[in-house]
Structure 1
Amino acid sequence: MILVLNGPNLNRLGLREPGVYGSQTLEDLERLCEEWGAELGVPVTCRQNNHEGQLLEWIQDAEDHGFAGIVLNPGALTHYSYALRDAIAGQRLPVVEVHISNVDAREEFRHKSVTAAVCRGKISGLGFLGYRLAIEALVEGE
């Protein structure tokens, strides 16, 4: 099983800055992730929360709930949440960080990820396709 976690403001996909994030919604993204998982023969569970503490708990508890890996879009928490970084580092599951937009081509503050260094990999700027690639990477174990 793969856990897909989306952080702050991703519940506003389709409404928030469509020129940056597109017109598809979080529900569209979650449906696609579940479909991609089904194609690969692995169940995918999607969750979103605007609260850092809830994301931490889901990461900390993921292995106990039978997940084999985590796809994580931390949103703005990417750039400053050492608590999120420590939660990722403090558990054994592989985590792939994903960003819909190319964070390195945006505002300066978005160029630094405090979480990427403790993730298996980072995918940025490929839209929803980045989630598919992250799921594939976790399923393949690469």
Structure 2
Amino acid sequence: MDKKFKVMVIQGPNINMLGTRETSIYGVMKMEDIHNQMKIFAEQNDVDIEFFQSNLEGELVDKIQECYGDADGIIINPAAYTHSSIAIRDALSAVSLPAIEVHISNIYRREEFRQKSMISAVTAGQIVGFGPVGYHLAMIAMLQIFEQIKAVRQAQNTQE
């Protein structure tokens, strides 16, 4: 029987304020609503999903490290830490799990300091500017990554 895949969704600073924070940029959907939609999609696709949000960089790093051996992929919105955190980048690199970076707004159409991601070089990909639906797109992408992992495992098992 195939092992069930697990996705860890990690949300950075101020994501807990979605729905009230700068709605002209981030929209009116709350973080809990996004998570509920992701949970439904995960259940429909037989994937375990867990959520974590923190405003503290060290807690985000700890959660990424805890994913090693516990999760199969990470969907992360590092929020403001995208542009400054070498620690988050190093943690993602250290756990060697497929990670997808999500941003609700199009960071490349915003202030210059927001246009540089410290994280993107160690992720499988980046989804920006699609609002909350970006998380759904990340789930679809992660499912595709999981299918590729399954195919590799099956090929390895047939060679043994």
2:119 paired with 1:115:
yes
Give the C-alpha shift of residue 52 in structure 1.
Answer: 0.6
Question: TM-score, length-normalised on structure 1?
Answer: 0.95
Q: Which position in structure 1 is the counterpart of 2:138?
A: 134
Match of 1:53 among 46, 52, 58: 58
Q: Which position in structure 2 is the counterpart of 1:96?
A: 100
Match of 2:19 among 14, 20, 25: 14
Q: Supply the distance in 2 between the matched residues of 1:85 and 1:138 (Cα, whole angstroms).
A: 19
> Which string of whole-angstrom CA distances, capped at 9 and with x for unpartnered residues, describes residues 17-61 of structure 1?
000001111111111111111122212111111011111011111
Point out where structure 2 has 5 or more consecutive residues left out of the alignment.
1-5, 149-160
Q: Supply the distance in 2 between the matched residues of 1:68 and 1:98 (Cα, whole angstroms).
A: 17
Q: Are 1:13 and 1:22, in contact at CA under 8 Å, matched by a contact in 2?
A: yes
Higher relative contact order (CA 8 A, sep 6+): 1
Q: Are 1:98 and 1:122, in contact at CA under 8 Å, matched by a contact in 2?
A: yes
CA RMSD across the alignment: 1.0
Q: Supply the distance in 1 between the matched residues of 2:111 and 2:31 (Cα, whole angstroms).
A: 23
The number of aligned residues is: 141
Q: Are 1:40 and 1:136, in contact at CA under 8 Å, matched by a contact in 2?
A: no
Q: Are 1:99 and 1:127, in contact at CA under 8 Å, matched by a contact in 2?
A: yes
Which structure 1 residue ranges, 4+ long, deviate > 6 Å from structure 2?
A: none
Q: Supply the distance in 2 between the matched residues of 1:134 and 1:48 (Cα, whole angstroms).
A: 17
Q: Are 1:8 and 1:49, in contact at CA under 8 Å, matched by a contact in 2?
A: yes
Point out where structure 1 has 5 or more consecutive residues left out of the alignment.
none
Aligned residue identity for 2:87: A
Aligned residue identity for 2:129: G
Q: Supply the distance in 1 between the matched residues of 2:93 and 2:73 (Cα, whole angstroms).
A: 13
Q: Supply the distance in 1 between the matched residues of 2:35 and 2:24 (Cα, whole angstroms).
A: 20
SS of 1:31's equivalent in the other structure is: helix
Question: TM-score, length-normalised on structure 2?
Answer: 0.85
Over alpha carbons, which structure has the higher Rg? 2
Match of 1:38 among 24, 31, 43: 43
2:28 paired with 1:26:
no
SS of 1:96's equivalent in the other structure is: strand
